[in-house]
């Protein structure tokens, strides 16, 4: 197991990914293959960025991209909540 997997931010992001895989199963078809897949992709990319940031000396650019991914993930989750796909 890599050191990045011990980071609280990595663990929390991984837990979010697990939750996303669970709750997207119940999305209606219109959202499952659009927003649901995008949510999964963005969260997987976030985990990748956490790994990259942990393995670099200069983390600034990677952390900025990770912050942007978090904003997109939050937007998708809020949208799905407003569309009554999650509570």
Question: Are the C-beta atoms of 42 and 69 separated by less than 8 Å?
Answer: yes
Mean pLDDT within 2-22: 87
pTM here is 0.88
Distances (CA, A) of 37 to 4, 33, 40, 58, 64: 25, 5, 5, 31, 23
Average of per-residue pLDDT across 73-83: 97
**What percent of the chain stands above pLDDT 70?**
95
Q: How many angstroms separate the CA atoms of 52 and 30, rounded?
A: 33
Higher pLDDT, 7 or 73: 73
Whether 87 shows a pLDDT value over 60: the answer reads yes
* pLDDT tens for each residue of 25-44: 999 999 999 999 999 999 99
d(CA 75, CA 34): 14
The pLDDT value given to residue 7: 83
Q: Which residues contact 12 (CB under 8 A, 6 or more apart)?
A: none
């Amino acid at each position: 197991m890599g050191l990045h997997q011990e980071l609280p931010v990595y663990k929390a992001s991984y837990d979010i990914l697990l939750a996303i895989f669970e709750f997207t199963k119940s999305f209606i078809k219109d959202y499952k293959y659009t927003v649901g897949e995008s949510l999964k992709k963005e969260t997987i990319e976030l985990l990748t960025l956490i790994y990259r940031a942990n393995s670099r000396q200069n983390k600034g650019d990677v952390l900025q991209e990770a912050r942007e991914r978090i904003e997109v993930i939050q937007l998708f989750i809020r949208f799905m909540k407003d569309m009554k796909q999650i509570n």
